[in-house]
Amino acid sequence: MTVQCRSVGSRFSWLCLAAGVLLLAGCNNMGAGPAASGARVFAADVTGAAKSCTAATPALKDGQVTETTMKVGNDGGWCGISVEKGGKPFNAGLLTGRPTHGKVFIHTVGDVTRVDYTPDRGFVGTDTFIVKLLPGSAGFRTAVTVTGP
């Protein structure tokens, strides 16, 4: 997997690839085009989404793992859950429960932290993953239903 990141007047603190999970932290205001709040978003941040994606936004509470759901069609695209803390993205997201049949990508998009799930090619069924968000100790457990393309 090759990862390229270009800084455009922004900061990029660190990048970690572990066990097929890419974790970005401190990546803010990257891109070319302001979001509604003024943060920048790359076209690449919104390209490649699954044609069928429904994801519930969790009501995060510090010290708790909130249950949420996602339904995604397996057409090679990702389905994302966007979360924020006080109008800003979290500094980092830690994958504390890995999915069995897909990959999770945690990154900053504009003023939110987006957690994208991409099912393994050809997989149809159920999967789960758990994410802890920093700073603080809020997190969410996602039950994923993957349907055919």
CA 15/CA 93 separation, integer angstroms = 12
Structural domain containing residue 93: 11-147
Residue 1 has pLDDT above 60, yes or no: no
In a domain, 2, yes or no: no
In a domain, 18, yes or no: yes
Give the tens place of pLDDT for each residue, 18-43: 334 444 444 333 333 334 456 777 77
DSSP 110-125: TTEEEEEEEEPTT--E
Cα 14 to Cα 4, 37, 39, 53, 71, distances in angstroms: 13, 24, 19, 29, 30
- Max distance between CA atoms of the chain, in angstroms, equals 42
In a domain, 106, yes or no: yes
- What is the number of domains present in the chain? 1
Give the tens place of pLDDT for each residue, 69-103: 999 999 999 999 999 998 999 999 999 999 999 99
Specify the pLDDT at position 114: 96
